[in-house]
């Protein structure tokens, strides 16, 4: 289907600001209705902000009291993942979550979590003895005296999730505009109900009858541009370590410590793709672009992870990174603006935002409907996207058959994660034209050599497929150019 011609004066029914997990979920939901929708992203690719660096957890529904909107959306969102996976094919496994108590006094907190889980209607939640914990998770420290088990919790590759949501939305007519940073907006009274006239930093502009603010860390700034509510998003940085697939510390399930009043604590996550993620720390920051890591925090993460799983070792570290969560009070702020017309706020979506995102899509659709947007279901809406084969997931026989059809599957570009040239090309053709975008889509450069062997090969494929010059190749868009000249 592809993007449709929009109405007169480049007018969309809805413009969504921000293509993170919330913007993408809302865009996909709206793509099932007869609407012209634009998805605006200031970065070079989608999922390049908050959604690219987090724990990638589908939470268990026991951390938050259901008096909060975030808890209700978490519980509903979590149940939607199986169907989404069937339709979109992103990496997701319900491996289960354990919360481990290492001291007697931590069992009090476990009891509270258990009671909350039961109250929230979490299926299969279980209070465990130390012995049961070790049975569920043999890698745990012998100091574990008990804990909680939520079998429904799971793990997901967050950027792949966002990529597939956006791909589905675009397939059903949503227009994705990257490098589109909102700079100015004003409400025009036009024929009928009027519309927002929105300008980008680079001079592009569009009109939209409704605007949804999913700008993550910068939702406060976007709210200001539209003359809507005044609030302040605080950045909270979380640092992580990624461990090699061959680490001995890989647990079967997501391992949580007992949470504190401010954070869910530092986890040990067996990622869907076989690595192990440990973290995050949690520190307030001033500069919302500051994704640097520090020696002290990283040491704390190792120590904390090792308390729960003694096999965690510095020797297995392949990279470290930091993500920033947008914090705004206790709960999410998802509502129609009381100040700006036809403007919906989706702000302060920190943990469990990824889990809640599918439910946020539905919730915002309902808000828009109440605000007057007319929703007519498309008869030809296609919930599924085409599967993109991955060499590493195929048996030798399946791979051989695929190579007979497309020999680029026989060219392994990234040895560590076993990524073929065909997969790099597939990423580029889906619009992922930065090195990081290709990394998130394919995993090439994400393994133990961190791109040491494959970067130059990817550069060449990227130039060949897009016609980009060497000075246009970037790591993540903007000024992140990789090369500084030719010999």
H or E stretch including 398? helix 396-405
Q: Closer to another protein at the Cβ: 350 or 420?
A: 420
H or E stretch including 79? helix 69-79
Question: ∠99-103-104 over CA atoms, to 5°?
Answer: 105
Q: Closer to another protein at the Cβ: 188 or 471?
A: 471
Interface pick for another protein out of 132, 204, 378, 476 (rule CB under 8 A):
476
How far apart are alpha carbons 213 and 18 in whole angstroms? 7
How far apart are alpha carbons 126 and 124 in whole angstroms? 6
Interface pick for another protein out of 399, 424, 444, 458 (rule CB under 8 A):
399
Stretch that binds another protein, among 119-127, 255-263, 288-296, 305-313 (CB under 8 A): 288-296
H or E stretch including 462? helix 455-466
CA nearest 36: which of 173, 195, 227, 230? 173
> How many residues of this chain bind another protein (CB under 8 A)?
57
Q: Closer to another protein at the Cβ: 386 or 397?
A: 397
Q: Using DSSP, state whether 312 is helix, strand or coil.
A: coil
Q: How far is the CB of 234 from another protein (least distance, A)?
A: 19
How far apart are alpha carbons 367 and 423 in whole angstroms? 39
Q: Closer to another protein at the Cβ: 22 or 298?
A: 298
Report if residue 483 touches another protein, rule: CB under 8 A: yes
Report if residue 466 touches another protein, rule: CB under 8 A: no
Contact 216, 242 (CB under 8 A): no
Interface pick for another protein out of 67, 142, 370, 484 (rule CB under 8 A):
484
Task: Measure CA 208 to chain center.
Answer: 26
Q: How far is the CB of 295 from another protein (least distance, A)?
A: 5
Report if residue 303 touches another protein, rule: CB under 8 A: no
Beta bridge partners, 187, equal: 196
Beta bridge partners, 11, equal: 7, 207
Report if residue 396 touches another protein, rule: CB under 8 A: yes
Interface pick for another protein out of 317, 371, 375, 468 (rule CB under 8 A):
317
Beta bridge partners, 469, equal: none
How far apart are alpha carbons 147 and 138 in whole angstroms? 14
Q: How far is the CB of 433 from another protein (least distance, A)?
A: 14
Q: How far is the CB of 478 from another protein (least distance, A)?
A: 5
Q: Closer to another protein at the Cβ: 118 or 246?
A: 246
H or E stretch including 135? helix 130-136
Residues 417-456 that bind another protein (CB under 8 A): 418, 421, 435, 448-453, 455-456
Q: Closer to another protein at the Cβ: 86 or 404?
A: 404
Q: How far is the CB of 263 from another protein (least distance, A)?
A: 21
Report if residue 411 touches another protein, rule: CB under 8 A: yes
Report if residue 124 touches another protein, rule: CB under 8 A: no
Report if residue 412 touches another protein, rule: CB under 8 A: yes
Interface pick for another protein out of 83, 415, 429, 464 (rule CB under 8 A):
415
Q: Using DSSP, state whether 323 is helix, strand or coil.
A: strand
Residues 129-158 that bind another protein (CB under 8 A): none
Give catalytic status of residue 432 as yes or no: no
Interface pick for another protein out of 37, 298, 327, 427 (rule CB under 8 A):
298
How far apart are alpha carbons 473 and 451 in whole angstroms? 15
How far apart are alpha carbons 74 and 58 in whole angstroms? 9
Interface pick for another protein out of 194, 274, 410, 431 (rule CB under 8 A):
410
Contact 416, 439 (CB under 8 A): no
Half-sphere exposure of 390 (CA within 13 A, CB side): 16
Report if residue 184 touches another protein, rule: CB under 8 A: no
- What would the two tokens of residue 39 be? 């998805």
Q: Is 356 left (phi over 0), alpha (psi -120 to 50) or beta?
A: alpha
Going by C-beta distance under 8 Å and a sequence separation of 6 or more, which residues neighbour residue 112?
none
Q: Closer to another protein at the Cβ: 150 or 278?
A: 278
String marking each residue 215-254 x if it binds another protein according to CB under 8 A: ---------------------------x---x--------
Inter-helix orientation angle 455-466/421-429, to 10°: 50
Chain positions contacting another protein, by CB under 8 A: 242, 246, 289-295, 298, 314, 317-321, 391, 396-397, 399-400, 403-404, 407-408, 410-412, 415-416, 418, 421, 435, 448-453, 455-456, 459-460, 470, 474-476, 478-487
Active site residue ranges: 59
């Amino acid at each position: 289907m592809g993007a449709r011609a929009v109405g007169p004066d480049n007018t969309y029914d809805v413009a969504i600001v921000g293509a993170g997990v919330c913007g993408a979920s809302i865009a996909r939901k709206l793509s099932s209705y007869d609407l012209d929708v634009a998805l605006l992203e200031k970065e070079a690719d989608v999922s390049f902000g908050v959604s690219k660096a987090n724990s990638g957890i589908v939470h268990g529904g026991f951390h938050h009291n259901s008096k909060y909107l975030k808890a209700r959306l978490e519980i509903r969102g979590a149940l939607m993942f199986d169907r989404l996976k069937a339709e979109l094919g992103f990496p997701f496994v319900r491996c289960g979550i354990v919360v481990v108590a290492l001291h007697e006094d931590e069992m009090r907190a476990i009891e509270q979590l258990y009671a909350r889980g039961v109250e929230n209607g979490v299926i299969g939640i279980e209070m465990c003895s130390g012995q049961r914990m070790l049975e569920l998770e043999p890698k745990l420290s012998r100091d574990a005296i008990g804990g909680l088990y939520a079998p429904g919790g799971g793990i997901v590759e967050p950027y792949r999730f966002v990529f597939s949501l956006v791909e589905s939305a675009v397939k059903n007519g949503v227009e994705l505009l990257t490098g589109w940073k909102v700079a100015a907006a004003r409400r025009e009274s036009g024929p009928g109900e009027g519309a927002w006239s929105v300008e980008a930093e680079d001079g592009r502009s569009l009109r939209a009858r409704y605007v949804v603010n999913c700008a993550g860390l910068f939702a406060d700034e976007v709210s200001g541009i539209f003359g809507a509510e005044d609030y302040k998003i605080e950045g909270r940085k979380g640092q992580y370590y990624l461990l090699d697939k061959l680490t001995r510390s890989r647990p079967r399930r997501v391992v949580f410590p007992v949470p504190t009043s401010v954070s869910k604590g530092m986890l040990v996550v067996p990622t869907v793709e076989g690595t192990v993620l440990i973290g995050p720390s949690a520190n307030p920051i001033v500069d919302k672009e500051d994704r640097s890591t520090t020696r002290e925090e990283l040491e704390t993460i190792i120590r904390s992870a090792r308390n729960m799983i003694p096999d965690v070792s510095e020797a297995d570290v392949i990279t470290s990174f930091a993500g920033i969560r947008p914090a705004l009070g206790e709960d999410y702020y998802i509502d129609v603006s009381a100040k700006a017309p036809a403007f919906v706020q989706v702000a302060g979506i920190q943990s469990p935002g990824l889990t809640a995102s599918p439910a946020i899509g539905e919730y915002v659709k309902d808000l828009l409907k109440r605000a007057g947007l007319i929703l007519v279901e498309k008869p030809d809406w296609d919930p599924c996207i085409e599967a993109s084969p991955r060499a590493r997931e195929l048996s030798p026989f399946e791979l051989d058959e695929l190579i007979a059809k497309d020999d680029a599957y026989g060219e392994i570009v990234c040895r560590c994660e076993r990524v073929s040239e065909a997969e790099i090309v597939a990423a580029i053709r889906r619009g992922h034209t930065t090195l990081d975008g290709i990394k998130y889509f394919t995993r090439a450069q994400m393994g133990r050599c961190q791109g040491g062997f494959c970067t130059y090969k990817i550069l060449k494929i990227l130039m060949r497929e897009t016609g980009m010059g060497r000075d246009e190749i970037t790591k993540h868009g903007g000024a992140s150019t990789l090369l500084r000249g030719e010999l």
